[in-house]
Amino acid sequence: MSRWEPNALERLQRAAMELYRERGFDETTVAEIAARAGLTERTFFRYFADKREVLFAGAGPLHELLRDKVARAPDSTAPIDAVAAALEASSAVFEERRDFARQRHALIAAHPELQERELIKLASLAATLAEALRRRGVTDPAAILAGEAGIAVFRLAFESWVHDPKRRDFSRHVRESLGALKAVTAGKVTRPAAPSTSRARGASPAGRASGRRSSG
C-alpha cells in the first residue's frame, strides 16, 4: 500500500473536466479542482503548468503515432499523402473516446482562452509532421506546408466528425477534407452558376463544390 491514492494526474484531469462542464471554466478555481481530486492547489501546479493545460496534456502518443506513420509511408508517397495517411491512422485514437472528444471540443469551442491553447497544440502537431517529412528528405517550404495543410485538414475533419449525425469514421472525414483541400488549392472550386441552388454546408467527397466561373 502506498501513502497516497494513485493516478493523481488522471484524478486532476477528471475533476477539472467535470467542474469546467458543471460551472464553466472561468467560474472554476484551481483550488476547487484540486479539492475534488483530493489534492491541494500546489500539487495541481506540479502536474500542470497552468489551469488550461489540464485539458491538453497527454498528446505525446499522438505525436509519436503521426511521426511513425509518416516515416513508414512508401517511398513513392507524396508528402501530403503521407501526412493524410498518418492522420487517417490516428482515427482509432479518437474513435475510442468519441464522447470525451465531443465534450472536450464543446468546452474549447466555448472559451477563447482554451482555443488559444488548442491552436498552439495543433501548431505543434504541424511541426511534428514537418519534421517527420524532413527525415524523409522533403525540403523545407514543402515540409512546412504539408504539415500546415495536414493540420487544416485535421481541423476540418475533426469538426465535421464531431458533428456528424451519421457517426461515420474519423478517417473518412479526413479523406473528404483532404479531397476538398486538393480541389480548393487546384483552383477547381469557383462560385456557383447564376441560379445558385447550391446546398450549403455538409461535406461531400468535396471535389465538386464547383461550377465553373461566372454569375453576377
Residues making contact with DNA (CB under 7 A): 1-4, 8, 28-31, 34, 38-43, 45-47, 49-52
C-beta atoms surrounding 80 within 10 Å? 20
The site string for a copy of itself over 8-47 (x = CB under 8 A, - otherwise) reads ----------------------------------------
Residue 8 interacts with which of DNA, a copy of itself, none, CB < 5 to 8 Å by class = DNA
Is the Cβ of residue 16 or residue 126 nearer to DNA in the bound state? Answer: 16
Q: Which three cell numbers stand for residue 76?
A: 513513392
140 in contact with a copy of itself (CB under 8 A): yes
- Cβ 64 vs Cβ 90: under 8 Å: no
**116: which 3 cell numbers?**
488559444
Rounded CA gap, 143 and 130, in Å? 5
Q: Which stretch binds a copy of itself (CB under 8 A): 9-17, 21-29, 64-72, 128-136?
A: 128-136
Residue located via cell numbers 514537418: 130
Q: Is 177 near a copy of itself (CB under 8 A)?
A: yes
Q: Does 213 bind a copy of itself (CB under 8 A)?
A: yes
33 within 8 A of 44, measured Cβ to Cβ:
yes
Rounded Cα gap, residues 84 and 154, in angstroms: 9
Among 197, 192, 184, residue whose Cα is nearest residue 156: 184
By CB under 8 A, name the binding residues for a copy of itself: 75-81, 112, 115-117, 119-120, 123, 131, 134-142, 144-146, 148-149, 152, 155-156, 160, 176-177, 180-192, 196, 198-203, 206-216
